[in-house]
Amino acid sequence: MAATTTKLKTIGSYAAIGDSFTEGVGDPGPGDSFLGWADRLAVLLADQREEHDFRYANLAVRGKLLDQIVADQLPRAKALAPDLVTFCAGGNDIIRPGSDPDDVAERFEAAVADLTGAVGQVMITTGFDTRGVPVLKHLRGKVATYSAHVRAIADRYDCPVLDLWSLKSVQDRRAWDADRLHLSPEGHTRVALRAAQVLGMEVPADPDQPWPLLRPRGSVDVTRDNIQWAREYLVPWIGRRLRGESSGDHVEAKRPDLLPL
């Protein structure tokens, strides 16, 4: 399915809210910070304006659940009142055992309704197709259900929708970080390009362009990689869940104000 696009409007300010995906985890930046698709989209938007005539805030914090994002980030985004807000949330809720995508979507819609009345435009985001992701592939049905809700919400509130499910290029393992839960720099770049397309912009590269061919991997290589991944990433992730901890504990938003870019 082709990406849904909207007619490009003049965007002079942009605020991003969400979790690790929007914070940019997996795409290292200066020092201990991350870049990510939202930062990269902000650069593309800034390029449409005169120098220093664009402002950008990124309020996203890794590990946050939908209700935490709504409580902590949404009021700040409303107060900033930018021309554009990107709102991606619910993924961390969906992957929790026993979660109900219908319930998460209902709470997400309430937040979208609140946000659309206070800012210029709200772009919302579907989930990724997880069929090739270890551990998460068994949640594919829940992610698909939630993504269908997101598209319906977008229709009801006239929101552009960043449909990640249909972005085939991010189904390649090179689009993902070593932890297999966050995008790599190239993955973030492709999402940023698709987001710009959704906003009606001309982009410098096709986000769905094919990846270079790779040498086929043997079963021994795959098994070794899976064992190493489980030891380095999966076990600590499960441990944090059992202890009630979040990767975002004690993490502050990297760009809490609308600053020139």
Strand partners, 255: 58
- Residues 6+ away with beta carbon under 8 Å from 131: 137, 140, 171
Encode the chain (261 residues) as per-residue pLDDT tens digits. Answer: 444 555 556 799 999 999 999 999 999 998 888 999 999 999 999 999 988 899 999 999 999 999 999 999 999 999 999 999 999 999 999 988 899 999 999 999 999 999 999 999 999 999 999 887 766 788 999 999 999 999 999 999 999 999 999 999 999 989 988 887 899 999 999 999 999 999 999 999 999 999 988 777 677 766 676 667 667 766 666 666 666 666 767 789 999 999 998
Going by C-alpha positions, the residue among 202, 129, 112 that lies closest to residue 163 is 129
Cα 94 from Cα 102, distance rounded (Å): 10
pTM of the model: 0.88
DSSP string, 157-187: HT--EE-STT-GGGGSGGGB-TTSSSB-HHH
**AA identity, residue 102:** D
How many angstroms separate the Cα of 147 from the Cα of each of 69, 94, 121, 127?
A: 18, 11, 20, 6
Beta-bridged to residue 34, according to DSSP, are: 28
Please tell me the predicted confidence (pLDDT) of residue 82.
Answer: 97
Q: Which two tokens stand for residue 145?
A: 């259900």
For residues 34 and 164, give the distance between their C-alpha atoms in angstroms, rounded to a whole number.
20
User: CA separation (Å) from 106 to 16, 102, 218?
Assistant: 21, 6, 44
Which pair of structure tokens corresponds to residue 137? 């592939």
Contact yes or no for 27/95 (Cβ under 8 A):
no
B/e letters for 172-195, b = 16+ CB within 10 Å, e = fewer, are beebbbeebbbbbbbbbbbbbbbb
93 phi and psi angles, rounded to 5 deg? -70, -45
Check residue 190 and give its pLDDT. Answer: 98
Tokens 């912009």 locate to 201
